[in-house]
């Protein structure tokens, strides 16, 4: 009986020490405003995509206290396409992004970070000018990131984040498949959210 009690006490002590340690996982939920650059080389005057605020969920894994990888996720977003005359259609975009970050951990009260990585955007459900035009079904590009975490408790933090992401698509005449030009969205994404360190 005495051995059982000692084993139980040691087990609880070890479990308490493990629970007190930070795991390498950090999850954030953000609200993000996408502000489009909209560089247009097609003959359609003023062709572009409207700015939009989207939800974002981000999962980070810390390889050390300074180095982390962050996977940036959202659900497929319906984007509104406009031209000089008004709305001309929609498409859906799913833009997961993976960045590698460096966190500056020696500052008291906040932890800034910088990151760089890659974006892959899947483009579907294209409906432009009643089907007169189509887009590429995907886009690859670089992503740059900077932000700061402000601790609220040991596990919860307030997060401010900004990213610049390369997203572009060639525009085609649907009837012939001829390329009409390129639309570069290259959005700047400004986000605010809450993080939880497991």
Cα 170 from chain centroid? 23
Provide the pLDDT for residue 10: 38
Provide the pLDDT for residue 21: 60
Mean pLDDT by 10 residues, the chain (198 residues): 41 40 91 98 95 98 98 98 92 98 95 98 96 96 98 97 98 96 98 97
Decide: residue 171, CB within 10 A, 0-12 exposed, 13-18 middle, 19+ buried: buried
Structural domain boundaries of the chain?
Answer: 24-197
- Are residues 76 and 112 in contact, defined by beta-carbon separation less than 8 angstroms? no
Range 168-171 contact pairs with CB under 8 angstroms and sequence separation of 24 or more: 168/139, 168/141, 169/123, 169/135, 169/136, 169/139, 170/135, 170/136, 171/42, 171/44, 171/47, 171/128, 171/133, 171/134, 171/135
The model carries a pTM of 0.85
Query: 24-197 sits in which CATH class?
Result: mainly beta
**How many helices (H) and strands (E) would you count in the chain?**
1, 15
């Amino acid at each position: 009986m005495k051995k059982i009690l000692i084993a139980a006490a040691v087990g609880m002590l070890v479990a308490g020490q493990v629970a007190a340690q930070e795991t390498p996982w950090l999850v954030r939920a953000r609200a993000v405003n996408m502000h489009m650059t909209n560089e247009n080389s097609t003959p359609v005057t003023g062709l572009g995509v409207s700015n939009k605020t989207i939800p974002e969920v981000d999962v980070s894994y810390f390889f050390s206290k300074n180095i982390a990888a962050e996977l940036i996720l959202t659900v497929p977003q319906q984007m509104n396409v406009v031209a000089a005359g008004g709305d001309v259609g929609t498409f859906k975009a799913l833009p997961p992004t993976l960045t590698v970050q460096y966190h500056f951990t020696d500052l008291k009260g906040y932890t800034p970070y910088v990151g760089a990585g890659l974006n892959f955007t899947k483009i579907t459900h294209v409906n432009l000018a009643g089907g007169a035009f189509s887009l590429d079904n995907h886009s690859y590009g670089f992503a740059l990131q900077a932000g700061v975490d402000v601790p609220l408790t040991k596990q919860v933090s307030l997060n401010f984040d900004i990213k610049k992401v390369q997203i572009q698509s060639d525009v085609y005449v649907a009837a012939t498949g001829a390329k009409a030009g390129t639309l570069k969205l290259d959005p700047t994404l400004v986000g605010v959210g809450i993080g939880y360190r497991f």
